[in-house]
Amino acid sequence: MHSLFDSYDDFIPDFEEFRQSLVRPIPTHLRINTLKAGVDKVRKLLLSQGFELVPSFSSDPTLLIAPTMSTPGNLLEYFLGYIHPQALTSCLASLVLHPEPDSYLLDMCAAPGGKTSHMAQIMKNTGLIVANELYPSRQVPLGHTLSRLGVTNCVLTAYQAQQFPLRTRFDHVLADVPCSGEGIFRNVNSGSQYKETRGKALLPELQKKILLRGYAVLKRGGTLLYSTCTYNPEENEGVVSYLLRNSDAKILPIELDLPIEPGIDRWRGNKYEPELREAARFYPHRIDSVGFFMARIGKPR
């Protein structure tokens, strides 16, 4: 573990605290699904079963930590679609993009559906979400998630994200791209081991292609969110810098009442666009959730 993440100690603040956070398990985060039930009703149901509930983001009552809940997928409330286990940082991606009701939205890499269903909730099941997922093995759980959570404003497609058809333009695009997944890793037992994704070195090229295509199908005046669950600047700032250098894209600020760190503008001799300071990095010792990166991107009118 140390040899893998030590190369990030020059940009991850309080690096020893970061390293210590990796030996603690990620707590159970829940999202209350208001497409199926009200917040008060679901809270009462869970509290009546003896579960402790703690707000995970004070600005949104649907987001909770359940410290004593180990298997939320076994609960009746899960099967009814009242709750969805989902990392706080994953939920924040939908809140940052914040699609309006009646808008058109493309989720380029939609499985397993947590963000897709959350955006449907924010949109109150209005407008249209195109949930794109290339792989059949991932389309099935995506469909099940959307059905269980009562999503009705969504259609599924199965294109390679980097080749998504150009004939439609969207108000919002989510490019939550395939990544090396470093932010998910926790070294919680002797068997824990971070496994390098096969072809990790090839990921930035794929990510650049997906981001360029996402920007191409974005309407003028629209917003795109690029996100990963990894710390690697080559997959984060490096990819977004490529878009900025090859388009008229603009970085938009991310305003959240949470302890987040700005994007970085250089690493290992690589210089990134200075606007990347407006991007957001989420670390597990700051927010006890999955490590995450987000860049909110606007297309000028």
Provide the mean pLDDT of the chain.
95
**Residue 191: its pLDDT value, please?**
52
- Structural domains of the chain, ranges and CATH numbers in brackets: 88-298 (3.40.50.150)
**Residue 200: its pLDDT value, please?**
81
Q: Are 60 and 15 in contact (CB under 8 A)?
A: no
CA–CA separation, 149 and 114 (whole Å): 10
Would you please indicate which residues are annotated as catalytic (active-site) residues? Answer: 229
Query: pLDDT over 70 for what percent of the chain?
Result: 95
> Smallest Cα–Cα separation from 279: which of 264, 266, 257, 301?
264
Question: Which residues of the chain, if any, have pLDDT below 70?
Answer: 1-4, 188-198
Digit-coded pLDDT (tens) for 83-97? 999 999 999 999 999
**Residue 187: its pLDDT value, please?**
72
DSSP-assigned states of every residue in the chain:
-HHHHGGGTTTSSSHHHHHHHTTSPPP-EEEE-TTTS-HHHHHHHHHHTT---EES-TT-TTEEE-TT-S-GGGSHHHHTTSEEE--HHHHHHHHHH-PPTT-EEEETT-TT-HHHHHHHHHTTT-SEEEEE---HHHHHHHHHHHHHTT--SEEEE---GGG--SS--EEEEEEE-----GGG----STT----PPTTGGGHHHHHHHHHHHHHHTEEEEEEEEEEES---GGGTHHHHHHHHHTS--EEE----SS--EE--SEETTEE--GGGGGSEEE-TTTSSS--EEEEEEE---
Digit-coded pLDDT (tens) for 14-64? 999 999 999 999 999 999 999 999 999 999 999 999 999 999 999 999 999
CA–CA separation, 290 and 283 (whole Å): 7
Q: Are 63 and 114 in contact (CB under 8 A)?
A: no
Name the β-bridge partners of 154. 129
β-pair type (266-267, 270-271): antiparallel
Rounded to the nearest angstrom, the gap between the alpha carbon of residue 175 and the centroid of all alpha carbons in its chain is 9
Q: At what angle do helices 237-245 and 203-216 cross, to 10 degrees?
A: 50
